[in-house]
C-alpha cells in the first residue's frame, strides 16, 4: 500500500541512515518518504540544450558543451598554481581551469576522449574559459538516468558542511521515486483534472523534481500549486459551512420601529452604495437562523461605525441587546460619544464600561444589563469580565479585531446560551488574497467607497532640506485655526533613542512656535498623563501634537488637518496609511507630509511613491504584501499562512482565486463530500486533516 510506504521513516532510505535522518529532521523538517517527496526544488539548471564553442556569448548563463580535452598544463600564479586544460570541439577551442583539486583531476582526466562539460563561462583576452566545470564522459552521460533540467533544492549551512550537497539530495530523490515506483494516489477528481487540463499526480511529482522540459515543469508546478491552495480553501470553506450548520444563531427576522425611525428620520447623511450593500449582507446573515461570523473591512473614514450601529438597531428591534468592544479606552470613549450623539432622538440606554469606570457606576451597569434596561454597552476588555452578564446579548461588534485574541472572542460567545452574532471590524485593509486565506472561515464585507464630501488627503514627500518651507506651511494652517500632528518613529529596540528623537523634535518645535500650545505623547508616559494630553488636543486646547506612534488608531479630531511624519522611511506602508488617516476627518482640505533624509533604499522609495500616488488602503496593502510578504504583514502569530510547500499567495493570486471557486462549487453541490464522484477528494482531504498538513492558521 503506497500510503504506508510513504510513512516510512527517512533513515531507512538507501544513503540516509540515523545521523543524516537527524540532520534532515532538524534542518529541513523531513522525517518520512512523503516529506522528502514534498520537498520541492526552488530553481532549475537547464541542461536540455548543447552549445558549440563558436556559439558562446559573453553572458553569465550556464552552458553544456560536448568536446575533448587535448592538453593539460600547470600555470604558476601569485598565490599557488592553476591547472589549465585545452578543450576543443569541431568549431573552436576554450580553456577549462581548476584552482584546487589538481592531483585528482590530473590522475582521472582522459585525454582525447569525448566529455560533456557544464558550467559558467568567462571571457578574457579573446578566449572563453570555464572554471571548475562539471565533467562527465559521454559514454556515462548516455547511460545514466537523464536529468535534463537539474533541480536545485533549498539547503542550509550545516547540511553543506556535513557533505549533504544538492547532488546528494538529487540521488536520494531518485532513490525514493524508484522505491515508490511512482505509484502515487490521485488526489483530485477526474472531472476536475479533465476540466482544467491538469497533469496527473504521479506525472506532476516526477516533473517537479526531474522535469523533461520547461513546458512539463510549468504544468507540474501549476497542478501542485492548485492542489495545495484547493485543499486550504476547502478546509476554510468547510469550516464556515459546518459553523453555520452546527451553531444556530438568533433569527432576527424583524426590521422594526427603531431601525426604520433611525433610517428615515435621524441618519445624518445618505448612505453610500457600499454601505447599503453591507447592511443588506448583514441583514441576510442575521435572518438566516445561523450565527453570523462576518468581517467588515473598510478604509479609515469609510463609515463602518454607522453600519455597526444599524446592525445593533436590528438586534434591538428583535428584543436583544448589543455590545461594541474596542481595544483602548480612548477608542471606546470615542465610540460611546459618537453613538450617543447619533441616537439622541431614539431614547436608547447606551452605557460605557472601561477599566476606569467607578465602582458604584459599574454595579449599576451590571444590574441594568441583567434586567435588560441597557440596550447597547460599549467598552474595552472590561466587557469580558465574568461579572458582566447580559439579559440577552444578540450581537457583539468587535473593533480592530487584530488586537483581540481568539480566546477573548470566545469569552464574548459564552455570555449567552446561544452565541450572539459576531461582526468584526477592521480599518487595516487586508489584501483580498490574504483575506481569503487568513479569514476564509469568516464571511467578508468590504466598504470600498468614502462618504461624499470627503476631500482626499493631499500627500507629499519632502526632504529635510525643505524643512523651513514645511514650518511656514504649518504656521499658515494654525493661523487658519487648524491643528497639526507631528509623529516620530518608534523602534522597540531603542526606546532611549526614540525618546531622544522625540524630545529633540519637541524642543525645536517649541522654539519655532513659542506662541502656540503643544501636547506631547509617548510610550513612557503614564496612561492617565497620556489621556490628559490627548484630551487637550481633542478639545482644541493645544495646536500641535508631538507624538510617537502611540497615537491611537481611530482617534478622531476633525479640526486636525496636517499630519507630519518624521523619518517616514523608517515606517511600514500600513503604518504610514494608518497615521495619514488621523487627518481628513473634517470638511477642510487635509495634508500629509512625509519627511525624510536624502539616503533612501529602493523599498523606501517604493513606499513613499505609493503613499503620494494613492489614498486607497487596499491598493497600499497589495504593495505592502509584495514588499514584505504575508508573514510580516500579519505579524508572527499569523505566520502559519507561510507554511505552503509550493504556492505563494502573492504571486499565485490567480490560482488561489480559481482554487477557491472550484472548492466552493464542489461544496455547494456536496457539502459533506458524500457523492461517489468526490471520493478521491474526500480521501485526500481526510488524509491531510489526519496528518495535520492542512495549515491550521485560521484566526
Q: Which of 322-326, 445-449, 671-675 has the lowest mean pLDDT?
A: 445-449
pLDDT tens digits for 5-41?
A: 888 999 999 999 999 999 999 999 999 999 999 999 9
Q: Tell me which residue of 65, 64, 81 sits closest to 73, measured CA to CA.
A: 81
Cα–Cα distance measured from residue 119 to residue 132, given in angstroms and rounded to the nearest whole number:
8
pLDDT tens digits for 91-112?
A: 999 999 998 888 888 899 999 9
Q: Is 204 exposed, middle or buried (0-12, 13-18, 19+ CB in 10 A)?
A: buried
Q: Which of 76-85, 221-230, 388-397, 520-529 has the lowest mean pLDDT?
A: 520-529
pLDDT tens digits for 138-157?
A: 988 877 655 568 899 999 99
Please give the residue that has the higher pLDDT: either 630 or 389: 389
* 455 pLDDT more than 90: no
Average pLDDT of the segment spanning 215-220: 91
Cα–Cα distance measured from residue 594 to residue 589, given in angstroms and rounded to the nearest whole number:
17
Q: What was the pLDDT predicted at 638?
A: 40
Contacting residues for 183 by C-beta, under 8 A, at least 6 apart: 2, 202
Where does the pLDDT of residue 641 fall: very low under 50, low under 70, confident under 90, or very high at 90 and above? very low
Residue 499 DSSP symbol: H
Q: Tell me which residue of 575, 586, 570, 572 sits closest to 550, measured CA to CA.
A: 575
Please give the residue that has the higher pLDDT: either 551 or 37: 37
Of all residues in the chain, the percent with pLDDT exceeding 90 is 50
Cα atoms in the 13 Å half-sphere on the side-chain side of 379: 21
pLDDT tens digits for 395-410?
A: 999 987 555 555 666 6
Contact 255, 316 (CB under 8 A): no
Q: What was the pLDDT predicted at 553?
A: 52
Contact 591, 561 (CB under 8 A): yes
Where does the pLDDT of residue 698 fall: very low under 50, low under 70, confident under 90, or very high at 90 and above? very low
What average pLDDT does the structure give for the chain? 86
* 321 pLDDT more than 80: yes
Q: Tell me which residue of 51, 33, 46 sits closest to 216, measured CA to CA.
A: 46
Q: Is 438 exposed, middle or buried (0-12, 13-18, 19+ CB in 10 A)?
A: buried
Q: What was the pLDDT predicted at 486?
A: 94
Rg (CA), the chain: 32
* 538 pLDDT more than 90: no
Grid coordinates representing 104? 585528482
Q: Which of 374-378, 407-411, 455-459, 568-572 has the lowest mean pLDDT?
A: 407-411
Which of 299-303, 422-426, 642-646 has the largest mean confidence? 422-426
* 661 pLDDT more than 80: yes
Distance, CA of 446 to chain centre: 18
Q: What was the pLDDT predicted at 619?
A: 83
Cα–Cα distance measured from residue 331 to residue 337, given in angstroms and rounded to the nearest whole number:
10
* 580 pLDDT more than 80: yes
Q: Which of 236-245, 402-411, 637-646 has the lowest mean pLDDT?
A: 637-646
Q: What was the pLDDT predicted at 407?
A: 62
Q: What was the pLDDT predicted at 400?
A: 73
Contact 598, 402 (CB under 8 A): no
Q: What was the pLDDT predicted at 493?
A: 45
Q: Which of 256-270, 302-316, 679-693 has the lowest mean pLDDT?
A: 679-693
Please give the residue that has the higher pLDDT: either 379 or 578: 379
Instruction: Phi first, then psi: give them for residue 117, nearest 5 degrees.
Output: -110, 150
Q: What was the pLDDT predicted at 633?
A: 45
Where does the pLDDT of residue 696 fall: very low under 50, low under 70, confident under 90, or very high at 90 and above? very low
Please give the residue that has the higher pLDDT: either 635 or 656: 656
* 463 pLDDT more than 50: yes
Structural domains of the chain, ranges and CATH numbers in brackets: 2-45+153-209 (no CATH), 49-146 (2.40.50.140), 221-247+649-690 (no CATH), 257-286+302-426 (3.40.50.300), 458-614 (3.40.50.300)
Cα–Cα distance measured from residue 403 to residue 181, given in angstroms and rounded to the nearest whole number:
50
User: Nearest 5°: CA angle at 415, between 412 and 419?
Assistant: 75
* 372 pLDDT more than 60: yes
Amino acid at each position: 500500500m503506497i500510503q504506508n510506504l510513504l510513512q516510512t521513516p527517512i533513515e531507512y532510505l538507501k544513503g540516509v541512515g540515523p545521523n543524516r535522518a537527524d540532520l534532515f529532521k532538524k534542518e529541513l523538517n523531513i522525517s518520512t518518504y512523503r516529506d522528502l517527496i514534498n520537498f520541492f526544488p526552488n530553481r532549475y539548471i537547464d541542461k536540455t540544450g548543447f552549445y558549440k564553442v563558436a556559439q558562446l556569448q559573453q553572458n553569465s548563463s550556464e552552458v553544456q558543451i560536448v568536446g575533448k580535452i587535448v592538453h593539460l598544463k600547470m600555470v604558476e600564479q601569485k598565490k599557488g598554481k592553476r591547472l589549465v586544460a585545452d578543450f576543443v570541439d569541431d568549431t573552436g577551442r576554450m580553456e577549462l581551469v581548476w584552482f584546487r583539486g589538481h592531483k585528482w583531476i590530473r590522475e582521472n582526466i582522459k585525454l582525447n576522449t569525448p566529455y560533456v562539460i557544464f558550467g559558467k563561462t568567462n571571457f578574457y583576452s579573446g578566449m572563453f574559459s570555464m572554471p571548475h566545470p562539471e565533467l562527465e564522459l559521454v559514454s556515462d552521460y548516455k547511460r545514466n538516468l537523464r536529468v535534463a533540467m537539474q533541480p536545485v533544492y533549498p539547503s542550509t549551512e550545516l547540511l553543506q558542511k556535513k557533505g549533504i550537497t544538492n547532488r546528494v539530495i538529487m540521488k536520494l530523490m531518485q532513490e525514493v521515486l524508484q522505491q515508490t515506483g511512482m505509484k502515487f494516489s490521485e488526489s483530485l477528481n477526474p472531472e476536475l483534472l479533465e476540466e482544467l487540463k491538469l497533469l496527473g499526480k504521479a506525472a506532476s511529482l516526477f516533473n517537479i523534481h526531474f522535469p523533461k522540459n520547461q513546458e512539463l515543469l510549468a504544468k507540474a508546478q501549476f497542478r501542485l500549486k492548485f492542489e495545495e491552495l484547493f485543499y486550504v480553501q476547502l478546509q476554510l470553506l468547510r469550516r464556515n459551512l459546518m459553523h453555520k450548520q452546527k451553531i444556530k444563531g438568533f433569527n432576527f427576522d424583524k426590521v422594526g420601529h427603531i431601525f426604520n425611525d433611525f433610517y428615515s428620520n435621524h441618519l445624518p447623511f445618505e448612505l453610500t452604495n457600499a454601505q447599503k450593500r453591507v447592511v443588506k449582507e448583514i441583514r441576510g446573515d442575521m435572518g438566516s437562523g445561523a450565527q453570523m461570523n462576518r468581517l467588515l473591512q473598510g478604509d479609515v473614514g469609510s463609515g463602518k461605525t454607522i453600519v455597526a450601529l444599524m446592525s445593533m438597531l436590528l438586534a434591538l428591534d428583535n428584543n436583544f441587546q448589543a455590545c461594541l468592544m474596542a481595544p483602548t479606552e480612548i477608542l471606546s470613549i470615542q465610540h460611546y460619544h459618537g453613538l450617543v450623539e447619533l441616537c439622541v432622538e431614539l431614547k436608547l440606554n447606551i452605557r460605557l464600561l472601561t477599566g476606569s469606570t467607578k465602582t458604584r457606576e459599574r454595579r449599576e451597569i451590571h444590574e441594568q444589563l441583567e434586567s435588560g434596561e441597557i440596550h447597547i454597552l460599549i467598552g474595552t476588555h472590561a466587557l469580558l469580565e465574568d461579572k458582566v452578564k447580559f439579559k440577552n446579548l444578540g450581537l457583539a461588534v468587535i473593533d480592530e479585531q487584530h488586537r483581540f485574541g481568539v480566546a477573548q472572542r470566545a469569552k464574548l460567545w459564552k455570555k449567552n446560551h446561544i452565541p450572539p452574532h459576531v461582526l468584526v471590524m477592521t480599518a487595516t485593509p487586508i489584501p483580498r488574497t490574504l483575506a481569503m486565506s487568513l479569514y476564509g472561515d469568516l464571511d467578508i464585507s468590504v466598504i470600498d467607497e468614502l462618504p461624499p464630501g470627503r476631500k482626499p488627503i493631499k500627500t507629499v514627500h519632502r526632504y529635510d532640506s525643505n524643512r523651513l518651507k514645511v514650518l511656514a506651511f504649518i504656521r499658515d494652517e494654525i493661523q487658519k485655526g487648524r491643528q497639526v500632528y507631528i509623529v516620530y518613529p518608534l523602534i522597540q529596540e531603542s526606546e532611549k533613542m526614540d525618546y531622544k528623537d522625540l524630545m529633540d523634535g519637541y524642543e525645536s518645535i517649541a522654539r519655532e512656535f513659542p506662541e502656540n500650545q503643544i501636547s506631547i505623547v509617548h510610550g513612557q508616559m503614564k496612561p492617565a498623563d497620556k489621556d490628559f494630553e490627548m484630551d487637550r488636543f481633542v478639545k482644541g486646547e493645544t495646536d500641535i501634537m508631538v507624538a510617537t506612534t502611540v497615537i491611537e488608531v481611530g482617534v478622531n479630531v476633525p479640526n486636525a488637518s496636517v499630519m507630519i511624519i518624521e523619518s517616514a522611511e523608517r515606517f511600514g506602508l500600513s503604518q504610514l496609511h494608518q497615521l495619514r488617516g488621523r487627518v481628513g476627518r473634517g470638511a477642510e482640505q487635509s495634508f500629509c507630509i512625509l519627511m525624510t533624509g536624502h539616503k533612501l533604499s529602493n523599498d523606501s522609495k517604493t513606499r513613499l511613491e505609493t503613499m503620494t500616488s494613492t489614498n486607497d488602503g487596499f491598493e497600499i496593502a497589495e504593495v505592502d504584501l509584495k514588499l514584505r510578504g504575508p508573514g510580516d504583514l500579519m505579524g508572527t502569530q499569523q505566520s502559519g499562512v507561510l507554511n505552503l510547500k509550493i504556492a505563494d499567495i502573492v504571486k499565485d493570486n490567480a490560482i488561489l482565486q480559481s482554487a477557491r471557486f472550484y472548492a466552493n462549487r464542489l461544496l455547494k453541490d456536496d457539502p459533506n463530500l458524500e457523492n461517489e464522484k468526490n471520493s478521491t477528494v474526500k480521501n485526500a482531504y481526510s488524509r491531510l486533516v489526519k496528518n495535520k498538513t492542512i495549515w491550521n492558521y485560521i484566526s
